[in-house]
Structure 1
Amino acid sequence: MSKNLLNRDFHASRSNEKWVTDITYLIFNRQKLFLSAIKDLYNNEIISYQVSRRNDLTLVIVTIKKAKKKRDVKGILLHCDQGYQYTSHQYNNLFEKI
């Protein structure tokens, strides 16, 4: 389990300092869709998002890879809950390469 570095401090003094991410679901045409998003706490901008019919690791990985293409992610604090997607080895390996 990772430490809670954000510690409920949702204020960021600059862009790309603190990001938060999570997954929610939406009902669309009687189907459940899952939305994964990354938000910059500096200005509440959605940096990246992905929609899928499955709530799985691939959904999270694609969302992060899209964010990495748009921004320099070195030094960013990315806060998430401790869901299985965010505690997987594949998820954590993404950040070892940064």
Structure 2
Amino acid sequence: MKQEGLIVAKPKRRRYNSYLGEIGAAPQNLINRDFRAAAPNEKWLTDITEFQIPAGKVYLSPVIDCFDGLVVSWSIGTHPNAHLVNTMLDAAIDAVQGSESRPVIHSDRGAHYRWPGWLSRVHDAKLTRSMSRKGCSPDNAACEGFFGRLKMELFYPNNWQSTTIEQFIEAVDAYIRWYNEKRIKVSLGLLSPVEYRHKLGLAA
């Protein structure tokens, strides 16, 4: 993977919002701002963030494990649509196939998480849905925190003026792989999420 860009770019305060009003009953907020987990695949968080570069807009949709912050799966594209979130969810479900793990998956109240394709996947995989309260981003603060770190470490320090959409997608993908495998965390004893799981004898 290639990371593109030089020079410092001024941060832009943008936050993608997929909320289109109440289009169906929302499940309870089972996470209730408790982002701790005793084991992998107990609690998953998801959301969408937007990047604006000169070449256009790019959207990232990840699934993040509360146990250690591992990005279980992710999808990057140019449209914040059902395909983006469903592709990500399919990959996350594949990651726990063959195990007894049935995570709670927490999101905001965006329309993507109420569409039939999403609901059927969650049901078939026996996951449990959880949603933030309306307009309450702190209810998904751990996912927001990941987006903030990604933007501070990758997006804002670089100038994407001559970067194509494809190159930017590659850069985000490469960052996430580095984040999982190499980026150390104090909370994990100065190990990356993958290193931490290996130390505990857990598959990453």
TM-score by length of 1: 0.92
Residue identity opposite 1:58 in structure 2: H
CA distance in 1, matches of 2:101, 2:117: 18
User: 2:41·2:101 contact (CA, 8 Å) conserved in 1?
Assistant: no
- Equivalent of 2:33, from 8, 20, 25? 8
Q: Select the residue among 102, 120, 144 that pairs with 1:93.
A: 120
Q: Which amino acid is 1:52 matched to?
A: G
Aligned counterparts, 1:8-87, within 5 A: 8-72=33-97, 74-87=101-114
Cα distance in 2 for partners of 1:51, 1:91 equals 17
> What TM-score results when the alignment is normalised by the length of structure 2?
0.46
Q: How much is the aligned-residue C-alpha RMSD, in angstroms?
A: 1.4
* Higher strand fraction (1 or 2): 1
Question: Structure 2: which 5+ runs fail to align?
Answer: 1-25, 126-204
Please state whether the residue corresponding to 2:112 is helix, strand or coil.
Answer: coil
Quote the offset at 1:96 in angstroms. Answer: 1.6
Mean Cα deviation higher: 33-42 or 87-96: 87-96
Question: Which 4+ residue blocks in structure 1 deviate beyond 6 angstroms?
Answer: none
Q: Distance in 2 between matches of 1:70 and 1:16?
A: 9
Q: CA deviation at 1:97?
A: 1.0
Letter in 2 for 1:85: H
Higher helix share: 2
Contact 2:42 2:101 in 1 (8 A): no
Q: Percent identity?
A: 28
The Cα shift of 1:27 comes to: 2.5
Deviation at 1:30, TM superposition (A): 3.1
- 2: CA distance between counterparts of 1:9 and 1:24? 22
Larger radius of gyration: 2
Count, aligned residues:
98
